[in-house]
A and B are shown apart, each in its own frame.
Chain A
Amino acid sequence: MTLALPSGPGVTCNQMVVDRVSEDDVDRMLHALADATRRDIVRRSVSGELSVSRLADGYAMSFAAVQKHVAVLARAGLVSKVRRGRESLVVADPDALARARGALDALENEWRGRVDRMAGLLADISTTGETTPTKGQDE
Chain B
Amino acid sequence: MTVTSVDKDYDKLSLTLVADFPAPSDAVWELWADPRQLERWWGPPTYPATMERHEFTTGGTVAYYMTGPDGEKFHGLWELTEVSPKTGIDLIDRFADANGEPDPGMPVTTTRMRLTGTAEGTRMELSSHFESRADLDRVVEMGMEEGLTQAVGQMDALLASTPVR
Spell out A's residues near B (CB within 8 Å): 1-19, 29-30, 33-37, 39, 42-43, 46, 59-61, 65, 78, 92, 94, 96-97, 99-108, 111-122, 125-126, 131, 133-134, 137-138
User: Do residues A134 and B106 form an inter-chain contact, with CB atoms below 8 A?
Assistant: no
User: Do residues B93 and A14 form an inter-chain contact, with CB atoms below 8 A?
Assistant: yes
B143: chain A residues at CB < 8 Å are 3-6, 12, 17, 19, 102-103, 106
User: Do residues A114 and B42 form an inter-chain contact, with CB atoms below 8 A?
Assistant: yes
Map CB proximity to A onto B71-87 as digits: 1 under 8 Å, 0 otherwise: 00010100000000000
A13 contacts which of B76, B128, B147 (Cβ < 8 Å)? B76
In this assembly, does B98 line the interface, its C-beta being within 8 Å of a C-beta of chain A?
Answer: no
A108 touching B66 in the complex, CB below 8 Å, given contacts A4-B140, A100-B133, A115-B19 = no
A12 contacts which of B10, B47, B133, B144 (Cβ < 8 Å)? B47
B155: chain A residues at CB < 8 Å are 30, 33-34, 39
Classify the interface of chain B: helix, strand, loop or mixed. mixed
B93: chain A residues at CB < 8 Å are 1, 14-15
- Category for how many chain B residues contact A: 35 or more
User: Do residues A108 and B6 form an inter-chain contact, with CB atoms below 8 A?
Assistant: yes
Q: How far is the CA of A19 from the CA of B34 in the complex (A)?
A: 28
B135: chain A residues at CB < 8 Å are 103
A16 touching B43 in the complex, CB below 8 Å, given contacts A103-B139, A115-B2, A122-B23 = yes
Q: How far is the CA of A36 from the CA of B158 in the complex (A)?
A: 11
A115 touching B142 in the complex, CB below 8 Å, given contacts A8-B147, A96-B133, A121-B41 = no
